[in-house]
Amino acid sequence: MSQPSPAQPGPESLLALAFPSDPQVSPNGKRAVFVLSRIEEEDPQKPDPEFARPRYRSHLYLSDGGAARQLTRGEGRDTSPRWSPDGATLAFVREEHGEKGQLFLLPLTGGEARRVTRFKGGVQDVQWSPDGRFLSFLSTGDDEDKRDERGEARVITRPRYRFNGRDWLPERPARLWRYEVATEELHEWLVPEVEVAAYAWWPDSRGVLLVSSSTEEDAAQWRQEADTLLLSGERTRVSCWNSAINSVIPHTDGERFALVGRPEGKGSPEDAHLFLVEPGGSWRRLDEGWDRPIGNLVGGDCHVGAFPERPVWLDGETLLVSSTVGGSCGLFRVGLDGTVTAQDHDPEAVVPAFTARGGSTALIRERADRFPEVELNGTRVTNLHSRLPFPARGPEHVTFSNELGEGEGWVLLPDGGERAPALLTIHGGPHTAYGHAFVHEFQLLAARGYGVCYGNPRGSVGYGQAWSSDIHGRWGTVDMADLMAFFDACLAAHPELDSTRSGVMGGSYGGYMTNWITGHTDRFQAAITDRSICNLLSFGGTSDIGMRFWDDELGLNFHRRADALKLWDMSPLKDVENVRTPTLIVHSVLDHRCPVEQAEQWYAALQLHGVPVRFVRFPGEDHELSRSGRPDRRIKRLEEYLGWLDRWLLGTETGEQRVAEMSA
């Protein structure tokens, strides 16, 4: 394979980066612990000279307000650090020697980490009781599923049986366990019939508030409720919600609680908001006057690990939340009186994760031209941006107009005075956003000579409910109009971009739009469709969210005769005979969100119509390949991107050679 010159970094630049995640502020607010994931050879003692095996290795880091120092040195992945209420001990999960993650306790006064569990299954969602007496977590215990290894039949009777990132769901849901620290006794606390989606301890440690569905059918339709589970095992329903719940936050009074979610009857186009639930189950929206979603929905590709953003009660009257505003995300205070005020919001930055206690905050902050960094009480305690092996570019702001008002986007421009190929890239969701997050892929493309145009058409979040909902039932119409208007605005604002050498690309919904656009215009000379959708009918029966998703997004569903032709009319596959654009298809075999059969159909159809097409399938990966997939596979994906774009937009010998060598 041809190698880029020193001035042209390659996909292997990913290997230099270290990814922060899961910042946790200490009980006294003076320290923070977080996870840092580096990419290292899988076995440094036995490197394979023929085949490098770069893998993530994660350790815990601690900061007292200054530069962070490494706290653990395990041989695998140390994650999920959680402070004991007295700040003397860290609970964390360690995954090594081929075992799934197990619970460990690390005394911060000195000494080795002590192992608590020895399950065959992993440990997840570790939490301390507020009085420090217990640790709780979810685990399938010693359950094992070896049917595939044994070649046994898998009998399926539940509506949900696979899920992206998890593959086959266990026959028995994970149980909630309770470990008494002083006596070292472990108890199986709850054996649920339907899996626990989230939980949080009540402030008085009498038990937990947990989120689940009443039946598997409810779970498949995203209908959830909140229950109180006492230490005695008594379980009581405390909500009348009947809809999806993202998180629950018990009030300091031990009676009420806040939740983030959407009320009954509101589907995925509805922004998530903050609600207060009273004893008895009645509720009211707290952020009634705030027309922005709660949580971070700005996409980036340097998020490896957990990114906590559950709201926090600062006192009995105020919650601290994150919220997406345009292409940014910051921290806001929401009062019981409904007022929303900014506490830490930079309109040109993104806070993808935070925790807060006693007036102190640990968070991660990133910008389009600044790699994610960890901060403690406003002081940066990492210098991870310095690991970037090439200079980061700042974006140029571009606006476009439609009947709802003004939309926005950005362009990353390459160096040099010559005209550059222009790429229109489309985000997924559709209800997410591009913006001020750091995107290694975009920076790499710009460094290699491409102008990268990324914007927020209707359907994107952060611009108000009307903007987000306007594509309901209208995929492939106003959203395409917005994307074309945005791309035209980029070309007009930057004459150095060459409209005769342009590409369109995107993943998930962005892959759907890439397929749709190439079936309705020949203006692009290359296309890359990643984890895409082409057939809305088959998607409904194969996606892990297919039972509900089209009802929410389009008001249609694949199992209703009256809707079938409408879904087919909105499927890119219907218009595939119009496609002339050379297309690279990238998909992961374990993607259950947008199943690989979608890519297979698109590939077969393009082959039948004589369109130049290349199909790259990744084993062992799911919908998150581009953001947190195995490093060597992420690098291969970027190599394929560059090879395809170089071939069709640069027409260079280098591009042709790269594609040929990758095919060999």
Provide the annotated active-site residues.
508, 623
Token reading at 198: 């989230």
- Judged by DSSP in three states, 658 sits in helix
Cα 343 → chain centroid: 24
Using alpha carbons, list the distances in angstroms from residue 372 to 301, 393, 535, 624.
10, 15, 37, 18
Whether omega before 430 lies within 30 degrees of 0, making that bond cis, reads yes
Confirm if 484 and 504 have CB atoms less than 8 A apart: no
Biggest alpha carbon–alpha carbon distance for the chain: 72
**CB 327, CB 433: distance < 8 Å:** yes
| Rounded Cα distance, 577 and 520, in Å | 10
Tell the burial category of 26 from Cβ atoms under 10 Å away from its Cβ (0-12, 13-18, 19+): buried
Q: What is the DSSP letter of 298?
A: B
Half-sphere exposure of 529 (CA within 13 A, CB side): 30
Q: What contacts 288, CB < 8 A, 6 or more positions away?
A: 338
CB of 330 closer than 8 Å to CB of 346: yes
Closest to 455 (Cα-Cα) out of 478, 414, 485: 485
CB 264 within 8 A of CB 255: no
> By C-alpha distance, which of 644, 545, 472, 650 is closest to 11?
644
How far, in Å, CA of 303 to CA of 236, rounded? 37
DSSP state of 294: B
With residue 198 as reference, give the H or E element that holds it.
Answer: strand 198-201
CA 196 – CA 173 distance, rounded (Å): 8
- The burial class, CB within 10 Å (0-12 / 13-18 / 19+), for 553 is buried
Name every residue whose Cβ is closer than 8 Å to that of residue 403 and which is 6 or more positions away in sequence: none
CB-CB contact of 181 with 166 (8 Å): no
φ, ψ of residue 498 in degrees (nearest 5) = -100, 110
**Helix or strand holding residue 139 (H, E):** strand 134-139
Q: How many CB atoms lie within 10 A of CB 144?
A: 11
Angle made by CA atoms 602, 603, 606, in degrees to the nearest 5: 85
